Amino acid sequence: MRAAVSSIIGYIAAAMFNSILLVIKETNKSVFDWLKATFGHHWLGHGILTIAVFVLVTLLAWYAIRRYEPTDRDIGRLAILVVVFTALSVIIIAGFYAIEVMGH
Amino acid sequence: MQPPGIEAGIHVFFALLSLLSASALLALLHTGSTNVKMIRALALGTAILVWLAWLASVYVYTVEYPVDKALIVKYPQTALAHKFGMEVKEHIFYTGLLLSTLLPIFAYTDLEKSRKLLLWATLFVILGGIVEEILGGWVSISAKIAWTLKAGGG
């Protein structure tokens, strides 16, 4: 279960990074321009960085939880966390653009 | 630079296959199937297909779509399809891409223990996929409307 737990931690970090980076790049032109200049397209850079966060945090968690064996109750909580952070990521992204659209 | 054609179709094809694969996986998990081999194959297959959908979309979105986008945002009847629809679609996709990556990780660890995790992740991959299809359809129709308006239609 070590791989499953560490990848969930990596996923949560990456999902939040994805949403937060979106808000930052859309409200900060220098970040948007940096992504574009570095990766050729802001969206491509956004994806590559999000994947990098997932891999990095998963690996860090893998080393950090060497002796952790989740109980059935823990697994239930992890499932809730996956659902909550997936929904939160979507709400932040959709909410940001909804506010943007309504503001213009 | 051409408007999206067959390349966009390939992207949608992989996305649709991933939805079918994820639906089959959800059915197996929900019915309590003990066919571990099939569950693992579908979990891995779903993840691969979502990744292929992303790789297929890179060229379409970064090189070809700007032709359509320029027209879509030009007309008030279609602008929302990009400013909300495509913007949301392109960014929530990354959450879905990583969520689908979790599926084989769950399936190839202790399946008995991670069954609930796999079921919920699969369900959200499907829901996300449906949302992506709806938004993609909206953008596609809006592109047609925008080109029609450019040609003097409407």
Listed by start position, the domains of chain B span 6-151
Q: Rounded mean pLDDT of B31-53?
A: 95
Which range, of A5-19, A42-56, B29-43, B104-118, averages the lowest pLDDT? B104-118
Q: Mark yes or no for CB contact A22/B113 under 8 Å.
A: no
> Contact at 8 Å (CB) between A101 and A32?
no
The model's pLDDT over B71-101, given as tens digits with 9 standing for 90+, comes to 999 999 999 999 999 999 999 999 999 999 9
pLDDT at residue B64, rounded to an integer: 85
Query: A29-65: per-residue pLDDT in tens?
Result: 999 999 999 998 999 999 999 999 999 999 999 998 8
Q: In Å, what is the CA distance from A94 to each residue of A1, A87, A98, B135?
A: 33, 10, 6, 12
Best mutation target among B111, B117, B122 (most A Cβ atoms within 10 Å) is B117
Please name the residue of chain A whose CA is at the shortest distance from the CA of residue B66.
A41
Q: Helix crossing, A72-103 with B87-108: angle to 10°?
A: 170
User: A102 to chain B: which residues are within 8 Å by CB?
Assistant: none
**Segment A92-101 mean pLDDT:** 94
Per CB-CB distance under 8 Å, the chain A contacts of B130 are: none
For B86-111, give one letter per residue: b (16+ CB within 10 A) or e: bbbbbbbbbbbbbbbbbbbbbbbbeb
Q: Label residue B153 by pLDDT band (50, 70, 90).
A: low
Mean pLDDT of chain B: 91
CA distance B151 to chain A (A): 27
Is the pLDDT higher at B45 or at A64? B45
A6 lies within 8 A of chain B by CB: no
Would you state the pLDDT for residue B1? 54
Q: What is the pTM of this model?
A: 0.89
Tokens 């320029």 found at = B70
Lowest-confidence pick of A8-12, A54-58, B1-5: B1-5
Which 8-state DSSP code applies to residue B152?
T
Beta-carbon separation of B92 and A90 below 8 A:
yes
